[in-house]
Amino acid sequence: MSGSVQEALQSKIKDLAPSGRMGTPTALAKAALFLASDESAYVVGTELLVDGGTVAICK
């Protein structure tokens, strides 16, 4: 994918996301670490969406 196409796609994603920014690998890693930790012991049968709120506007 060319640089300009990639930049245009990233810009579109940022515009659509309620958070107004792209997600980061760190944000995903922190969610995974939470689910793998004892802190999530009471979390059962749910999805943890790490998408900046994008799914909320798609429904």
Tell me how far apart the 2 most distant CA atoms of the chain are, in Å. 45
Q: Are the beta carbons of 47 and 25 closer than 8 angstroms?
A: no
pTM: 0.67
Task: Please write the tens of the pLDDT for every residue from 18-34.
Answer: 888 888 999 999 999 99
Q: Are the beta carbons of 56 and 16 closer than 8 angstroms?
A: no
Q: Are the beta carbons of 40 and 34 closer than 8 angstroms?
A: yes
Chain centre to alpha carbon of residue 22: 8
Residues of the chain with pLDDT under 50: none
